[in-house]
Chains A and B, each alone.
Chain A
Amino acid sequence: MNEVFDWGGVWDAMPAMLDGLVVALQATLIGYVIALILGLAFALLRRSGSRWVSMPVGFVVEFIRSTPLLVQLFFFFYVLPLIGVSVSPLATGAFALGLHYATYTSEVYRSGIDGVPPGQWEAARALNFSRRRTWTAIILPQAIPRVVPALANYVIAMFKDTPQLLAITVVEMLGAAVAIGSETFRYSEPVAAAGLVYLVVALVMAWLARIVERRFGQVRV
Chain B
Amino acid sequence: MTGEDFITFEGVHKAFGKNVVLDDLSFSVKSGERVTLIGPSGSGKTTILRMLMTLTRPDRGVIGVDGDYLYHEKRGDELLPASEAHIRKVRQRITMVFQHFNLFPNMKVLRNVTEAPIHVLGKSKDEARERGKELLEMVGLGDKLNAHPSQLSGGQQQRVAIARALAVDPDVLLLDEVTSALDPEIAAEVLDVLRDIAKTTDTTMLCVTHAMKFARDVSHRVLMFNEGGIIEDGSPEKLFNEPEHERTQAFLRSVIDET
- The answer on a CB contact under 8 Å between B102 and A129 is no
Greatest chain A CB density within 10 A among B95, B119, B148 is at B119
Taken together as a complex, chains A and B put the C-alpha atoms of A141 and B111 apart, in Å, by 14
1/0 per residue B116-145: CB within 8 Å of A?
100110000000000000000000000000
* A179 touches B (CB below 8 Å): no
Taken together as a complex, chains A and B put the C-alpha atoms of A142 and B104 apart, in Å, by 9
* B30 touches A (CB below 8 Å): no
Taken together as a complex, chains A and B put the C-alpha atoms of A125 and B96 apart, in Å, by 9
1/0 per residue A136-173: CB within 8 Å of B?
01100110000000000000000000000000000000
Q: What is the number of residues of chain A that contact chain B, defined by CB distance less than 8 Å?
A: 19
Given contacts A126-B165, A220-B148, A220-B150, contact A120 B102 (CB under 8 A): yes
1/0 per residue B99-125: CB within 8 Å of A?
010111111000000011001100000
- The answer on a CB contact under 8 Å between A220 and B105 is yes
Q: What is the number of residues of chain B that contact chain A, defined by CB distance less than 8 Å?
A: 28
Taken together as a complex, chains A and B put the C-alpha atoms of A133 and B148 apart, in Å, by 20
Minimal Cβ-Cβ distance residue in A for B96: A126
- The answer on a CB contact under 8 Å between A119 and B98 is yes
- The answer on a CB contact under 8 Å between A122 and B104 is no
Residue numbers in B under 8 Å from A129 (CB-CB) = 115-116, 119-120
Taken together as a complex, chains A and B put the C-alpha atoms of A138 and B106 apart, in Å, by 7
Residue numbers in B under 8 Å from A119 (CB-CB) = 98, 100, 102
* A1 touches B (CB below 8 Å): no
**Chain A residues close to B by CB (< 8 Å):** 117, 119-120, 122-123, 125-130, 133, 137-138, 141-142, 219-221
Additional 6 contacts, C-beta under 8 A, given A126-B95, A137-B107, A137-B119: A119-B100, A120-B102, A126-B165, A127-B165, A127-B168, A129-B120
Kindly list the 4 A-B residue pairs having the minimum CB-CB distance in the complex, ordered from nearest: A123-B102, A127-B116, A119-B102, A126-B96
